[in-house]
Amino acid sequence: MAARLQNLAGQLGVADRVRCVGPLFNEAKWAAFRDADVFVLPSRNENFGNTAAEAVAAGTPVIVTEACGIAPLLAGQAGLVVPCTEPSLADALARLLSDAALHQRLAAGCAAVLPRLSWEEPVAEMESLYASLLPAAAGLGTFAAPGAGR
């Protein structure tokens, strides 16, 4: 795959600006995120998008597709959310790389979005939801799961 992508980059005249580095771990991964101008997750189906969250944690603006579960958490604040089409992704990438004010605003927004990407905020929201449901459930009594006590 990397060879095909490098070949395509050569055909498009951008080989000097494209690197296929393979897997990165630990500090090498974080350094790559920090060094990137933008992180793109062009997924057609993504439950969440941990790599986009990692890019945000490193302060790198992201472009994700509408198919990424993380999209609503990032939209307009730490990244751009676009349809999963090549023209949409290309337009967003060109826009983010050519508009310094937009890039700076999204990079600064990464810090504001970060708390929503940790466990603390979702856990607090879930605890609050359960607490609000407890009074309504109190009048229901107890019940046994089907097949319990056989």
Instruction: Tell whether 55 and 99 lie within a shared domain.
Output: yes
Q: Is residue 88 exposed (0-12), middle (13-18) or buried (19+ Cβ within 10 Å)? A: middle
* Over residues 60-67, mean pLDDT: 96
Q: Which domain holds residue 16?
A: 1-25
Domain count, the chain: 2
Instruction: Tell whether 73 and 115 lie within a shared domain.
Output: yes
Instruction: Tell whether 14 and 61 lie within a shared domain.
Output: no
Percent share of the chain, pLDDT over 90: 59
pLDDT at 92 over 90: yes
Instruction: Tell whether 121 and 62 lie within a shared domain.
Output: yes
Spatial distance between the Cα atoms of 83 and 89, rounded to a whole number of angstroms = 8
Task: Tell me the pLDDT band of 89, cut-offs 50, 70 and 90.
Answer: very high
